[in-house]
Amino acid sequence: MESTVTEAVAAAAQKAASGIQATPRKTITVGAAYTVTIPAGATRRLLFFNQMNPTNAAAFDAASIFDANSSLGSDLLAGLAPNQLGEVVNWSFGCVFLPLVMRAAGRNIIATDATGCLEVFSSLYPFSAWEVPWVHSLFENSAAVASGVEAALKALELFNAGVAAAPGTPVSDDPLPGAFAYCAFVAWLSLYASEAEFVGALLINLPVWGSNCARMAEALRSKYGLSEAEVAFFTMFATAPPGFEDRATRGVGSQVRGVLNP
């Protein structure tokens, strides 16, 4: 559907006392055209702001307030509900809904975020505005990352239940600081190192990590009697994804060739 919005302002004055017709002022027309796809049963909105100024210079000076998205609660958006702003197609209010979503979800969550404006302004390395566990991914695989996190969490719940039911003295499950060291290093590599360095780190780490997970799963089964379901978190990571080593080797090789043959 193409919607054309046109405003026309015309002014003319007549000197009633003398009966002389004044010269009409210039008519100013502002137009904007949008092609909008509206799903069946849905609503889409176009949002425009009008502002009157006494001079052109004043209008240019005041126009800066429209250069960026207005935040929820501002005077420019007064009277518009969040669901109405979500239906607007010519302004992007996606990021301003995040505080509402996070308050509704609570703190017991893990967030995944694809590359975009939200990721850029909320996670400038080495700082983060996120107060919950957060994973950044590429555009095309955010859903896959979220499903992997969900599968790992479900496996961890089964493992926790199995450990709690096992005989013996309970031990602390507080994570050790050293357990995060390599994860932090790989995160740094993903941002600041070359692709070859990043892939090379995974190529070395994943087989070692997988071997340790396999040994842990076997020990939990044989020494503590945990079931296959209860050690699924470890068996899940015992082997690298199919074809990973071949793809990683090709990736490192292409980077090295690029350095040797610029």
Taking phi first (over 0 means left), then psi (-120 to 50 degrees means alpha), and beta for anything else, what does residue 79 get?
left
Provide the residue count of the chain: 262
User: Which has more confidence, 77 or 230?
Assistant: 230
Q: What is the pLDDT of residue 246?
A: 84
Q: How many CA atoms lie within 13 A of 7 on its CB side?
A: 7
Mean pLDDT score, 5-26? 41
Amino acid at 32: A
Ranges of each domain in the chain? 2-105, 115-260
Alpha carbon distance 233, 230 (integer Å): 8
Picking from 42, 26, 44, 25, the residue whose alpha carbon sits closest to that of residue 34 is 44
Q: What is the pLDDT of residue 258?
A: 52
Mean pLDDT score, 212-231? 92
- Who's near 158: CB < 8 A, 6+ residues apart? 229, 230, 232, 233
Q: What is the pLDDT of residue 241?
A: 80
Alpha carbon distance 165, 227 (integer Å): 12
Query: DSSP character for 3?
Result: E
Alpha carbon distance 97, 125 (integer Å): 23
Q: Does 133 score more than 80 pLDDT?
A: yes
Mean pLDDT score, 166-193? 77
| Single pTM value for the model | 0.55
Mean pLDDT score, 117-141? 77
Q: State pLDDT tens for residues 50-105.
A: 788 888 888 888 777 776 555 555 677 777 776 777 788 777 665 556 666 777 77
Residue pair 212/179 in contact (Cβ under 8 Å)? The answer is no
Query: Which stretch of DSSP H or E encloses residue 136?
Result: strand 134-137
Residue pair 92/129 in contact (Cβ under 8 Å)? The answer is no
When mean pLDDT is compared across 18-22, 67-71, 145-149, 222-226, the lowest value belongs to: 18-22
Mean pLDDT score, 172-197? 79
Q: Does 17 score more than 60 pLDDT?
A: no
Q: What is the pLDDT of residue 235?
A: 93
Encoded tokens for 252: 């490192």
